[in-house]
Structure 1
């Protein structure tokens, strides 16, 4: 186990995140605390941070150090970004942090900030090619990557706090002239980045402003499941949020669901940046990553002691494995159930009964691995707990629609419950639900064939004669439990087959 404390000293907020890493459960947040600081507003016309800003910073750092020590964490890493990076008295600020708090604060360069955000995104989102944007209070980091390797990166010297200060100071948050000037400035700055134009790839947005935009849109459409990580918006969606912010009077901003009070006066500039970037890139979608600078730095630190801890090419697989470990699923049982459902599927595919896309086959197999993980909470309501846990868990490397599909298959009990769960989102038509039911039935039957968790199934083969089907199962050990449960559950397979199924157990 390794525990670390990261303090992200941003231009708008200062945030403390305590991380814990184990080989079994991966990296976890054990505490996340933020406080607004608006350090960028304390930088005077000559580029120096005023004493009022330095004092506010020291007070917050002192508090965060005490919290870290209460968790018995001594590895504390304060990271300073744009506000301190751009201050002419930055070296004096770092010396005071060391002298008064005995903390070694490091200034993160714009290029490093972009690289750390990229690392966090590609380790938690499956896209191989994308543009990333991390807009903070005093700077904006952009990268373009292909095959999960950075090709270009840049740090621009404006953020939401500086845009607000440049164009909106003393004006309403939706002042028309301020909006016009902000649009012109942002468009000019982005057009100077010649490698951005017409990339026609997704945009991955990182940081608090991005998350807030996502939450506003989710509230706007009454989004049925939790979490913004992996949430996707299209161009029209970004425009809808922008229009809502623009047409809402300043005194009514608190009425917008999902909008953080700390960001009410700076959210419109960030919306303008995102809309403009979408057009410049010619993007096909706008996706949000909850992981950014802090997670990227944490992975960098942890990788020194655990060099193979993170694999950006196994995002979904590693996330499922950690989910299974979090709920103490038996690894042997999960592996055998996955093996059996894979064999059952191949028999049905061979007979021309069922054919899946590569994605749906992957989802089915992983659903088998985490089948009925809700047993961890309550065996009598395992299906219900399984569906809601998976559909609302932060699973990396998978879109929200597929996450719900995974939940429906892994929680499958019967068609009635399946229809009940599916109504929550309304995302699947009758044809899709029929396929989900078939996959859930396969997983449920595979579970019956290893109900004793003794791995007795050695091989299986299906044959057809007229309207009747026969499943020959070779076994090692005592199949009494599997025989009983296979007969009980065969009705689910018969619905897929459209005929009677006869099951024969033979000692291998």
Structure 2
């Protein structure tokens, strides 16, 4: 299959027909994909095939199919047995979830092993799952598409590390460009001859070559995909005592990578893995992977390093999306879905957004989308106990599986939703996370939260604005002009909330009713 495959040809390879041709399929479909990797075998079931899908089910088995492949030329016998058991389990789960057939792909170990085709035949015979072995080029493309699912329109370099290989791909303007594969997976590196010196020389030589083949560019954003990179990120978080443990969109610098390499090499491995929350199987590969990453960033000199939780499996989902769905903002789509599913008055979020928008006249498009997300989510946690509603809102925003959201933006969103239900944030158990945003952003989040709190008192339905806010930042005057039908809604509590918003702006307030 290639990048320009045409739906009209009827040839969709392992991906089947597009799932998103109509709203009914988008609302009802669950999509199951299996990734048979060199180190792990994973099943992911995406719920409600939307632009930013939720993970209905996610299970990984560390099988080690590629262990010893360089020496024997064949898949690990123990790994084959474990992988087959895992796939039998996944096939049974898929039947119970009514998502048969599963979409399944195999990567480096299966494509390189002499007995790879035989293994795929056995899997089909014993489980009914047809495993499609993809090339390194295709693996790089799908991983890059997974990144585009979370960052539409991004520019940079995607680097996906597996057990037996490492893939690189350029992304720009929503498309995947140059890509290549290399034998820099940790399982392969274990078998490099020449001891420590030979290993270091092999890594340096290989990265120098792939840097030249990728055009010799430096200074781009680097997106890291793969379990070993995520394990390194967890070690980096532990070293820095980072307050938020969400891996997606976690950022590092070239200097961070160098410091974390020293940290990993000097800490007790078992103690570090427990503190970082990394499995023993994964931690065994980290010392090799960090050497690759350290050299990679020294050569490519990225301006920014971002961890992506989205990779080949999300790329397989992205493959089936039409262009108009790919171009949508994953954050806004997820928030729209949450509002439609959980809010007391679905559809009021856009009205609320129009109501609060005059308070942020200088917001750029990135800030506007966070404000819009907050308005869509402002009421989805209403079922929580009132005493804990602010904390539940903050938890939902900062820990939810949301794409297209930086960590600082997560905290801003969480603070805004916290202030939707609470005037105060001091003393909250999340204060360490508040350090991820600037003081002026904390104040702006408070203003947004209090404005949403006021707007929520003035519901007139999903089509009618309850009134309008006019903010004069020079004279520090906030005026609310109420729709005549909202006059009776502006009671004592609403007035208190308006005054609280005025206080947050350090302003004076005026109230009027339209003629």
Under a length normalisation based on structure 2, what TM-score does the superposition of the two structures give?
Answer: 0.84
Which of 240, 243, 252 is the matching residue for 2:259? 240
- Identify the residue that residue 282 of structure 1 maps to in structure 2: 301
- Identify the residue that residue 402 of structure 1 maps to in structure 2: 409
Query: How many angstroms does 1:217 deviate by?
Result: 1.8
Aligned partners of 1:199, 1:321: CA distance in 2, in Å? 38
Aligned partners of 1:30, 1:436: CA distance in 2, in Å? 31
Query: How many angstroms does 1:67 deviate by?
Result: 2.5
Aligned partners of 1:112, 1:256: CA distance in 2, in Å? 36
- Identify the residue that residue 337 of structure 1 maps to in structure 2: 352
The answer as to whether partners of 1:371 and 1:443 remain within 8 angstroms in 2 is: yes
Q: Which moved more, 1:11-20 or 1:416-425?
A: 416-425
Question: 3-state DSSP class of the match of 1:375?
Answer: coil
Q: Which moved more, 1:399-408 or 1:29-38?
A: 29-38
The answer as to whether partners of 1:371 and 1:411 remain within 8 angstroms in 2 is: no
Q: Which moved more, 1:144-153 or 1:365-374?
A: 365-374
- Identify the residue that residue 473 of structure 1 maps to in structure 2: 481
The answer as to whether partners of 1:121 and 1:291 remain within 8 angstroms in 2 is: yes
1:440 is the counterpart of 2:449: yes
- Identify the residue that residue 13 of structure 2 maps to in structure 1: none
Q: Which residues of structure 1 form unaligned runs of 5+?
A: 169-176, 350-354
Cα distance per residue 1:352-405 (max 9 Å; x no partner)? xxx445433442333223224321323453222111211222221121011101
Q: In 2 relative to 1, CA 417–496 (structure 1 residues): closer, same or farther, beyond 3 Å?
A: closer
The answer as to whether partners of 1:459 and 1:474 remain within 8 angstroms in 2 is: yes
Query: How many angstroms does 1:285 deviate by?
Result: 1.8
Aligned partners of 1:470, 1:245: CA distance in 2, in Å? 54
Q: In 2 relative to 1, CA 473–235 (structure 1 residues): closer, same or farther, beyond 3 Å?
A: same
Q: Which moved more, 1:74-83 or 1:472-481?
A: 472-481
Question: 3-state DSSP class of the match of 1:31?
Answer: strand
Which of 48, 51, 66 is the matching residue for 2:92? 66
The answer as to whether partners of 2:332 and 2:369 remain within 8 angstroms in 1 is: no
The answer as to whether partners of 1:116 and 1:296 remain within 8 angstroms in 2 is: yes
Cα distance per residue 1:214-258 (max 9 Å; x no partner)? 112222323222310111111222122211221235665655533
- Identify the residue that residue 200 of structure 2 maps to in structure 1: 183
The answer as to whether partners of 1:245 and 1:268 remain within 8 angstroms in 2 is: yes
1:314 is the counterpart of 2:329: yes
Q: In 2 relative to 1, CA 12–337 (structure 1 residues): closer, same or farther, beyond 3 Å?
A: same
Q: How does 1:59-458 map to 2 (within 5 A)?
A: 59-125=85-151, 128-166=154-192, 177-178=195-196, 180-193=197-210, 194=212, 195=214, 197-249=216-268, 254-301=273-320, 303=321, 307=322, 310-312=325-327, 314-325=329-340, 327-328=342-343, 330-342=345-357, 344-345=358-359, 349=361, 355-412=362-419, 413-417=421-425, 420=428, 423-425=431-433, 426-448=435-457, 450-453=458-461, 456-457=464-465
The answer as to whether partners of 1:463 and 1:469 remain within 8 angstroms in 2 is: yes
Under a length normalisation based on structure 1, what TM-score does the superposition of the two structures give?
Answer: 0.85
Question: 3-state DSSP class of the match of 1:377?
Answer: coil
Query: How many angstroms does 1:272 deviate by?
Result: 1.2
Query: How many angstroms does 1:497 deviate by?
Result: 5.4
Q: Which moved more, 1:418-427 or 1:378-387?
A: 418-427
Q: Which moved more, 1:287-296 or 1:45-54?
A: 45-54
Aligned partners of 2:464, 2:71: CA distance in 1, in Å? 76
The answer as to whether partners of 2:374 and 2:413 remain within 8 angstroms in 1 is: yes
Cα distance per residue 1:291-329 (max 9 Å; x no partner)? 11111113324x3xxx36842452332233234345346
Query: How many angstroms does 1:456 deviate by?
Result: 4.9
Which of 19, 22, 36 is the matching residue for 1:9? 36
Aligned partners of 1:357, 1:249: CA distance in 2, in Å? 46
Q: Which moved more, 1:30-39 or 1:87-96?
A: 87-96
Cα distance per residue 1:473-501 (max 9 Å; x no partner)? 25253531135544222212322554432
The answer as to whether partners of 2:467 and 2:483 remain within 8 angstroms in 1 is: yes
Q: Which residues of structure 2 form unaligned runs of 5+?
A: 1-27
The answer as to whether partners of 1:422 and 1:428 remain within 8 angstroms in 2 is: no
Question: 3-state DSSP class of the match of 2:302?
Answer: coil
Q: Which has the larger radius of gyration?
A: 1
Q: In 2 relative to 1, CA 329–205 (structure 1 residues): closer, same or farther, beyond 3 Å?
A: farther
The answer as to whether partners of 2:382 and 2:389 remain within 8 angstroms in 1 is: yes
Aligned-residue Cα RMSD (Å) equals: 3.0
Question: 3-state DSSP class of the match of 1:477?
Answer: helix
Q: Which moved more, 1:474-483 or 1:237-246?
A: 474-483
Query: How many angstroms does 1:137 deviate by?
Result: 0.7
The answer as to whether partners of 2:416 and 2:449 remain within 8 angstroms in 1 is: yes
The total of aligned residue pairs comes to 484
Aligned partners of 2:344, 2:324: CA distance in 1, in Å? 21
